[in-house]
Amino acid sequence: MDVIADVDNLHHLYFLLEFLAAWEKRPPCLTPMAYKWCSALSEMAELGPELRPLPRFKLQAMASDNRLSGIAEWLFSSAPPGDTSNHTHEHPQWTEFYPRMLPVILEIGFRLVTPGRNQQAPRLDHTPHHDLVFKSAFSFDDDEVVADGVCAWIADSNHMPAGSCVHHLTKRMEKGTHFSPRLRQMGICLIERMWRNGLWVSDLETVYLLNCLNIGVDDIEYNHEWAGLLVDVICSPAGFDGLSIHYWDLLEGLPPPWVFPTTRAMEMARSLEETEDLEKLGVWMVIAWQSDEFSGSAGMEDLGPLKQVTLKYLLRRPLAIPRFERLLWSGGLRPDMRIALKDICTEVRTEQLPLEPPPL
């Protein structure tokens, strides 16, 4: 920490950091330490010129556990002596080493961290400089550095900072490149944890990021939480219009019942009717029948609009009847609702019967 603030002897510190990054069995206690180093680095960066990403002098390509000691000895002995004559940010070591240090520190602290409920979360003391850490991390073209930055944001699940991590990630997607598997995993964790902690951000950015990540059922660890998250997104103006049909289908496959704001289920159904978006309407009506709004204490008179829209939809799309009939045996409907839906399916099937028998 003192060397970061003092600028001099950065080359020695850099070599130490590369040594730690190459250490495959580094202890978890380095994670909160590395986060403090990132904060100190960003505090200095605010005082100096803008940091631009530079390539690293990376040890991993030439290092293995049984060679690290010799490599470290060579690096430290070959490092030039520090120049203490200049403590300003025009010091040559500033431009040479600071841009290379951030990705190394992030790797030390977060490359081996896998956020999850079964993992002990590190306690990270977020500072006013944390946003600059992530802005700098996202300026690198290396997906692993970006993933380290996202991991640093969400690792302390109980004390996540509010800020613009989703914004940075959506900007990253605008480059048109696919995420690496690890960065994609961190993006999924980011969305889940921000929703869980009530740190929701721009609906447009969230919808854009979800569409880019194309999350499937195999990517989801907590089905009920994702059901709530997708309901929130779909019920938002941006999600209703812009969220991929893929997520509507995904929600249909997650455990019911789904909880909607009062009357929201039918408001959305009417809107889908007006726009004649029959694909989404079909998914939504299956969801609406299992929603908390109707499966709770609603009386039969409250089911009138639901039954009316379902009947009109099935008359236009009779091939969707089996989709609704499966709800009859799923065990998720009240007895009176099951009877009402069965009557609708029977009526539509009757409408589809030919009026005259075919000729012999």
| Lowest-pLDDT choice from 33-47, 119-133, 309-323 | 119-133
- The model's pLDDT over 250-265, given as tens digits with 9 standing for 90+, comes to 998 888 767 776 678 8
Query: What global pTM score does this model have?
Result: 0.79
Q: Please, what's the b/e burial string for 125-161 (b: 16 or more CB within 10 A of its CB; e: otherwise)?
A: ebbebbbbbbbbbbbbebbebbbbbbbbbbbbbeebb
pLDDT at position 46 is 64
- As given in the structure block, the two tokens for residue 122 are 């590190």
Domain boundaries, the chain: 1-55+93-117+125-201, 267-351
pLDDT at 61 over 70: no
Q: How confident is the model at residue 278 (pLDDT cuts 50, 70, 90)?
A: very high
pLDDT at position 77 is 59
pLDDT at 73 over 70: no
Question: How crowded is residue 166: how many other Cβ atoms within 10 Å of its Cβ?
Answer: 22
Q: How far apart (Å, rounded) are the C-alpha atoms in residues 63 and 294?
A: 62
**In this structure, is the dihedral angle defined by the CA atoms of residues 92, 93, 94 and 95, taken in order, positive or negative?**
positive
Q: Is the peptide bond before 257 cis (omega within 30 degrees of 0)?
A: yes
| Lowest-pLDDT choice from 12-21, 59-68, 224-233, 305-314 | 59-68
pLDDT at position 85 is 43
Tell me the one-letter amino acid at 303: L
Q: How far apart (Å, rounded) are the C-alpha atoms in residues 39 and 56?
A: 20
pLDDT at position 87 is 43
Instruction: Calculate ∠ Cα 132-138-140, nearest 5°.
Output: 120
Residue 310 to residues 88, 121, 194, 250, 349: CA-CA distances in angstroms? 72, 47, 35, 20, 13
